[in-house]
Structure 1
Amino acid sequence: MDLSIIIVNYQTYDLTKQTIESVINKEHPFTYEIYLVDDASQDGSLEKLQQDFKEENADGLIKFIASPENKGFAHANNLALKQTKARYVLLLNSDTVIFNDCLAKCLKFIEEDESIGALGCKVLLADGNLDKACRRSFPTFSVSAYRMLGLSHFFPKSKRFGKYNLTYLDKNQTYEVDCLTGAFMLVRSKAIHSVGLLDEEFFMYGEDVDWCYRIKADGWKIVYYAGAEVVHYKGGSKKRPEKSKLTHEFYRAMYLFYNKHYKDTYPWIITGITYSGIGVMYGLKYLKNFLER
């Protein structure tokens, strides 16, 4: 098998169906399979998807995995990662749509360079703008500080201040980056076997950054490839936990990543400032959500 595509569904029947159809309704010059992992949905979406794609399931094209409980995005993807034997794996969000020959282009590109461990493509939002998360730098202390202070917003073309989302680079060019988005991440199975599965400590944010960090630390390239496109209906798959849960997990992911990769790198004063900054941002966001309610 050339490619295993992993899609996680959590109560997003219409979006998930659209994503699957954007893949199977095209002819592909490679062998592939789809793992549809349902993360303990309570809306009957799994049963409806199984009915919609029963022929593809019978043919082995789509394999359904039902998780008995929702343990997060990383855990759901790992259920499929433990089963796949394909040469490449694609993490694909349930709120994305594949354009034209996107998959064929990405597979061809990654196969031509055996040093690439993970490849992302141009991820566009519904309004046509670039999803900035598809090409990023690691959140070091300085990179994060520039973003928290708003300098990345005011000086997006600055190589120093715009480093987090690489806004100073041309979105139509291909280059190495630090990390990609889990909405579309094509990963070489050899790299996965070397660095391990997604870290399930991350519930639904940060697991993609952590995986890219480990892949890059293992000597593989992480590449943003501008020659292929997908649409990401960002936020569509967040009919998931309530807003307070999302906020909590977002800032918890920041803490987990720093604690895992940077705590022993920076002096204690920097670590203290970082933890305080995360706490202040969390508090302000929580207050904002509270006032909106």
Structure 2
Amino acid sequence: MRVLRISHSAAVADWRGRERGLRALGMTVTLLSARRWHAGGAETQLTAGADEHAVPVDTWGRHPALFVYDPRPLWRALAEEYDVIDVHEEPFALATAEVLLLRWLRRNKAPVVLYTAQNILKRYPPPFRWLERYALRHASGISACNAAAARIAEGKGFAGRARVIPLGVDLDRYTPRPSAPPTDEPVTVGFLGRLVPEKGLHVLLDAATHDPRLRLRIAGAGPLAEQLGADAAARGLGERVELLGPLDPESVPDFYTGLDVLAVPSLPSPGWTEQFGRVAVEAMASGVPVVSSDAGALPEVVGGAGLVVPAGDAAALASALVEAATARAPELRAAGLTRAAECSWDAVAGAYADLYDSITRRGARPAPGGGARAPRALEIAVVAYGAPDLLRRALEPVRDLPVTVVDNSSLPEIAALCGELGVRYLDPGRNGGFAAGVNVALGDRMVAGADMLLLNPDAVISADAIAALHAGLAADAGLASVAPAQTDERGRPARVAWPFPTPLNAWLEAAGLGRRQRGARYVIGSVLLLRAEALDQVGGFDERFFLYAEETDWAYRAHLLGWRHALVDEVRAVHAGAATSTDPRRREAHFFASQERFYRKHFGPVGWQAARAAIWLGAMVRSIALRGDRRAAARRRAATFRRGPIRVEAGLGAASVI
């Protein structure tokens, strides 16, 4: 695999372990990085060996989000063919927009991976808001160094599942010293980082006043450098505080091994919080226990391998520092070494390789000569809500296959039926809707890496038909989902393949030109087979869709990531349709509300208002032209879209059907 990585932070030699790890996995990696960058309080110049294939690039600007690269080296690099272009910059950054523009001008079709660490939900001013939206909508993959940043990227428009991949640490550079038995002698507490108020330095000084055993060694540069000595003296700490200034990179490992415990007492603010805390992992790799505050991603990084205290609580910090350096030192050293191994550059490179494989569909490609590389595993998920007789009819033909029933109604009758038929029963304890039920099944898979058949409890398909459907999916590596042709219980055919909803298609439908709708299509979810590789890249269903359009949303996100969907017309299933529902008006309200959510999510407020106007106008025309029940239905639709479907749904109170 050929990978082009673009990262200003790779100017720091310690932070190029990802590229070394990828090359060790057999990849060809070309790296473009800032020629010079200000990192960790010091100016850094890119120096790399010939085997690193690192190209230094001049930059204009110093802020990580407000700089651009000299476009000429990027232009030359983008003339080459790559399997993946990995831009290790934030989606809203000017450098990201620059790379995407040059890629478009070069007509380079390689999929793009972006990086994010931003774990505070921010609404940026134009043009950064627009640049971020464009970048997220055109990315094939996202790596995030913390879970909150991953969820924010998904919420802001990334179509797939953002991967949480930690920042790496060099386990050859940071190694533990021989451990000594803990004593009650003075405890050497270290701090390494920017000397700024948000890093909690004054909390650390206050903590030292609570216990005379604490001795502080503070390393770094920043606005508080000149003030800290006076502040320590004012607290009566005297010689118990040592200010080391900025450290040469070569001396950092020795700094860690000279400590009994590292403190990371950061203080969150409305505009900033810790995005990872690399110093914590470096200290763990050095065999040093870590105590951090609960700011931002620190509990995610430190929790379980170190001690976490409330941000700003000096007394709790003092107590934890002593505990970590004495009574719990052996335990925390061992846990820290395990955590550091999870963040090793080899582990990080492996996670990136998995991400690259996912977006390049390497696991989905058929073997040479046609057919699948190996028989594909399959499991079935049924999201049920009451109606045990219908459910029995759906389950009996498939009971010999791996089947999970997620019972949103929590009925003993459903549990008993599953026990009788020998299928797995899961009770989520709530009715979160169809999407939430599917996610329960996806989060507790019976067969790792299996394709997933979603089967409505009011649908029936035979085991032989499922096998034929599965063969149709396996035959085309570009398919994310397939569905069979369907009939109702009277044998009347039902429409299965539909064009994606768009504002333009809404106007065509309103004008009676529905057959003129163009563009990609999806297949409905009553009997829907999902490819495992697509699930891996796209992720689960959006639980904001309580009922209806959840499969449309998933399919559209897959479409944005380059997948297709197809009807396997030679396979048949029977679908009763809404047979588990007892309230058609409520069902209709959920349907229209899900339409609004879809338009708002994928086309923004303007797109939603355009579609809303079309649907309302079409309903008004039909309310005049039609008669009887059809006129009444058109009037209800017009009234719903005039008021707003989500508002109408909210007026119904708690949901009672799936």
Give the TM-score normalised by the residue count of structure 1.
0.77
Question: Which of 10, 33, 53 is the matching residue for 2:402?
Answer: 33
**Quick one: distance in 2 between partners of 1:188 and 1:178?**
17
**Quick one: distance in 2 between partners of 1:128 and 1:148?**
29
Aligned to 2:424: 63
Q: Give deviations 1:146-197, integer Å, cap 9, x for gaps.
A: 3344444xxxxx4x16x69xxxxxxxxxxxx521111011111110010110
**Quick one: distance in 2 between partners of 1:102 and 1:252?**
34
Matched, 1:214 2:550: no
**Quick one: distance in 1 between partners of 2:386 and 2:596?**
28
Unaligned ranges ≥5, structure 1: 26-31, 57-61, 153-157, 165-176
**Quick one: distance in 2 between partners of 1:104 and 1:272?**
43
Aligned to 1:102: 465
1:108 CA displacement: 1.4
Question: Which of 433, 436, 451 is the matching residue for 1:88?
Answer: 451
**Do 2:434 and 2:547's aligned partners in 1 also have CA atoms closer than 8 Å?**
yes
**Do 2:379 and 2:403's aligned partners in 1 also have CA atoms closer than 8 Å?**
yes
Correspondence 1:1-293 to 2 at 5 A? 2-24=377-399, 32-41=401-410, 44-53=412-421, 56=422, 62-84=423-445, 85-99=448-462, 101-132=464-495, 134-152=496-514, 158=515, 160=516, 178-239=521-582, 242-263=583-604, 268=606, 271-277=608-614, 284-285=635-636
Larger deviation, residues 207-216 vs 122-131: 122-131
1:263 aligned counterpart, secondary structure: helix
Flag the structure with larger Rg. 2
Structure 1 residues 18 and 288: CA distance shift in structure 2, 3 A: farther
1:8 aligned counterpart, secondary structure: strand
1:41 CA displacement: 4.2
1:262 aligned counterpart, secondary structure: helix
**Quick one: distance in 1 between partners of 2:610 and 2:479?**
35
2:523 aligned counterpart, secondary structure: coil
Structure 1 residues 22 and 147: CA distance shift in structure 2, 3 A: farther
What is the root-mean-square deviation of aligned Cα atoms in Å?
2.6
**Do 1:121 and 1:230's aligned partners in 2 also have CA atoms closer than 8 Å?**
yes
1:223 CA displacement: 1.1
Report the AA paired with residue 52 of structure 1: E
Structure 1 residues 178 and 279: CA distance shift in structure 2, 3 A: same
1:136 aligned counterpart, secondary structure: strand
**Do 2:497 and 2:521's aligned partners in 1 also have CA atoms closer than 8 Å?**
yes
Structure 1 residues 248 and 277: CA distance shift in structure 2, 3 A: farther
Q: Give deviations 1:103-122, integer Å, cap 9, x for gaps.
A: 11111121122221111111
**Quick one: distance in 2 between partners of 1:3 and 1:279?**
42
**Do 1:5 and 1:91's aligned partners in 2 also have CA atoms closer than 8 Å?**
yes
Give the TM-score normalised by the residue count of structure 2.
0.36
2:541 aligned counterpart, secondary structure: coil
**Quick one: distance in 2 between partners of 1:210 and 1:143?**
16
**Quick one: distance in 1 between partners of 2:455 and 2:591?**
20
Report the AA paired with residue 63 of structure 1: R
1:251 CA displacement: 1.0
Report the AA paired with residue 610 of structure 2: I
**Quick one: distance in 2 between partners of 1:20 and 1:137?**
30
**Quick one: distance in 1 between partners of 2:418 and 2:576?**
23
Larger deviation, residues 143-152 vs 271-280: 271-280
**Quick one: distance in 1 between partners of 2:476 and 2:584?**
41
**Quick one: distance in 1 between partners of 2:479 and 2:492?**
26
Structure 1 residues 278 and 48: CA distance shift in structure 2, 3 A: farther
1:7 CA displacement: 0.5
Q: Percent identity?
A: 25
**RCO greater where, 1 or 2, for CA within 8 Å and sep 6 or more?**
1
**Quick one: distance in 2 between partners of 1:113 and 1:273?**
36
Larger deviation, residues 252-261 vs 139-148: 139-148
**Quick one: distance in 2 between partners of 1:81 and 1:194?**
13
